[in-house]
Copies of this chain bind each other. A is one copy, B any other.
């Protein structure tokens, strides 16, 4: 009994680090993406007079790189509870909705990669249209998986 408790405690301690790390890395990835989303929103939607083709293309590449980075590896069992940079907002039902999550994640992935392609052309109207689709794909995943603040 004492040994069982000890082993359980050790196992919990052993995975505690990785869980906090997974949460911290995914918060970092989405925050880095959010910074780049903000740059595109500013230059394409809010202040198109400041549009800089190279800066917007770099920001779109950054969002695509986040989408392509294998974020799924950061959603291990138990990561609906824990503190990375801050308490995670992952809904516990994430783990019961994996099929829906996969569809939502693929939608984001495709939209982000298409945005990187469109951004390389420098066509601000086409970028704005595709940027809207990326925003919808973000919201689709957030509604499904993230606790509202």
Binding site for B on A (CB under 8 A): 24-25, 27-29, 31-32, 35-36, 39, 55, 58-59, 61-62, 64-66, 68-70, 85-86
The listed residue (B29, B32, B39, B68) touching A61 by CB distance below 8 A is B68
Chain copies in complex: 2
Q: Is the interface of A mostly helix, strand, loop or mixed?
A: helix
With the chains together, A39 CA to B22 CA distance in Å?
13
Residue pairs across A and B with Cβ atoms less than 8 A apart, 11 shown, are A25-B32, A32-B66, A55-B70, A58-B65, A58-B68, A58-B69, A61-B65, A61-B68, A62-B69, A64-B65, A65-B66
Residues in B whose Cβ lies below 8 Å from that of A39: 70
